A = this chain, B = another copy of it.
Amino acid sequence: MATIKDVAAAAGVSVATVSRVINNGPKVSDKNRAKVKQVMVDLGYRPNANARALVTQSSPTLGLVFSELTDPFFATLAGGVEKIAREHHRQLLISNGLVSADTERQAIETLLEQRCEALVVHSKALSDDELIAYAEANPAMVLINRHIPQIAHRCVWLDNRAGGEAAGRYLMSLGHQKIACVSSRYHIEDPQLRLEGLQQALAEAGQPLADIAIEHGDPNQTGGEVATQNLLSKNLGATAIVVYNDAMASGVISVLTDNGYRVPEDVSVIGFDDVLLSRYLRPKLTTMRYPIEMMAMEAAEMALSLSSGKTVSDCHKYVPTLVKRDSVLALRD
C-alpha cells in the first residue's frame, strides 16, 4: 500500500505538502494541491489511520461496550450510538461485555488500548468502585443504564422504580385491585427496582401486592410462559399482570390465551420497554416505554462532548412513560 512518501515522490513535492493536502490545510498552491490529489488517486493512496492516531494522540473513534447485539433492546441502544457516531464522522468500535465482570473489564481495556476518543459503556457486572475508577481515569467515558451517585454526571439512566410505580398506579386508576407480577431474577437490579416501585404504589393505595402474586422467570418469552403457568396454578384471580419486560409479556399473553383467558377482557397485561415487538403482538401491548434510543444518543453525544473538554449537565435521568395500547382494560371509568 502506497505511503505518504510514495505520493510525495510521485508528485515531486515534500511529505509536508502532501500532509497539508490530506488535511485540507491552507498554504498549498492550487497547482500542487491538484497534482497531489491526482497522484493519490493514481496510487490508490489511503492515509494510515493508525499512524495518524499515533502522532495526534487520538483517533476519531467511539467505543461501545455492551452485550447482546441480537437482543432488540440492545440493538436499539447500539443503533442510537451508531447514529451519533456517524453524524460526528466517528468510527464505531464495539466490544461485547457478556454481562460478566471479567469480560466487561476486558472489553473496556481493549477499547482503551485503541485509544478511543470517547466511550459509552453498558456495564451491569462491574462494581461501582471499579467503574468510578475507570470514569475518573477516562474523562470521556459515559455509563448508560446505570446510576452511580458519585459520578452521576457521567450516567445516563432510567428510573426503573418510577416505571413500576406508574404501571401500578395506572392499573389501580382503572379499578384493578387484584394485581399480580411476573418479574425476573435476571442478574441485574432492574427487575428488583421495577418490582419495588410497583409494590410501593400498591402499598400506598392500601392494596399491597401479595407475595404469592409474584412469579419469576427468565427475561424472555419462555420465561414469561413458565411464570404465567405457575401463576395460574395458584388460582389467584388477578385481573391484571405487570410484567418485567415485553418479551416476557408476549409469553404471558400466549399462555393466558391458551388457557382460555381473554386479554384484556379477563386479564389485563402491561409490559415494559416498548420494543418493536410490542406493536406486533395481538392484542397490541400496553407498556412502559424505555426511551433507550434517545438515551443512547444522549450518552454518545455526552461522551463526545466530554472528549473535547466540554462540561455536561449533571442529571441524565429518564422516566418511563406509559404507552397505552390494547392489552389493558378499564374495570371502571
Do residues B91 and A96 form an inter-chain contact, with CB atoms below 8 A? Answer: no
Residues of B within 8 A of A281 (CB): 280, 282
Q: Which residues of B contact A193 (CB under 8 A)?
A: none
**Chain A positions 46 through 58: 1 when the CB is less than 8 Å from some CB of chain B, otherwise 0:** 1111110110000
Instruction: From B86, B115, B250, give the contact of A280 (CB < 8 A).
Output: B250
Which residues does chain B contribute within 8 Å of A46, judged by CB atoms?
Answer: 109, 112-113
Contacts of A69 in B (CB 8 A): 69, 75, 78-79, 82
| Assembly stoichiometry (copies) | 2
**A interface size (C-beta, 8 A):** 44
**Residue A93 interfacial (CB < 8 Å):** yes
One of B51, B110, B113, B250 near A54 (C-beta < 8 A): B51
Contact of A277 with B by CB under 8 A: yes
Most B C-beta atoms less than 10 A away, residue of A75, A112, A254, A279: A75
A286 at the interface (CB under 8 A from B): no
Least distance between A249 CB and chain B CB atoms (Å): 10
Given A96-B86, A280-B221, are A59 and B70 neighbors across the interface (CB < 8 Å)?
no
User: Is A276 at the interface (CB under 8 A from chain B)?
Assistant: yes
| A76 proximal to B (CB < 8 A) | yes
Tell me whether A54 and B50 are in contact (CB under 8 A). yes
Contact B276 A113 (CB under 8 A): no
Cα–Cα, bound, A79→B79 (Å): 13
Chain B CB within 8 A of A68 CB: yes
Closest to A54 in B: B50
Instruction: Please name all residues of chain B whose beta carbon is closer than 8 Å to the beta carbon of A280 when the two chains form the complex.
Output: 221, 250, 277, 280-281
Smallest CB gap from A77: residue in B: B69
CB neighbours (8 Å) of A78 from chain B are 69
| Set of chain B residues within 8 Å of A327, measured between Cβ atoms | none
Q: Which residues of B contact A92 (CB under 8 A)?
A: 93-95
The 8 closest A-B pairs by CB, nearest first: A75-B75, A70-B79, A50-B53, A69-B79, A49-B113, A50-B50, A50-B54, A92-B94
Instruction: Add 11 more A-B contacts to A48-B113, A69-B82, A91-B114 (CB < 8 A).
Output: A46-B113, A48-B54, A50-B51, A50-B54, A70-B79, A72-B75, A91-B95, A91-B110, A92-B95, A221-B280, A281-B282
- A residues contacting B by CB (< 8 A) are 44, 46-51, 53-54, 59, 68-70, 72, 75-76, 78-79, 82, 86, 91-96, 109-110, 112-115, 137, 221, 250, 254, 257, 276-277, 279-282, 293
List, sorted by A's number, 12 A–B pairs whose CB atoms are closer than 8 Å.
A48-B115, A50-B50, A50-B51, A50-B59, A70-B75, A72-B75, A82-B94, A91-B110, A92-B93, A92-B95, A93-B94, A254-B282
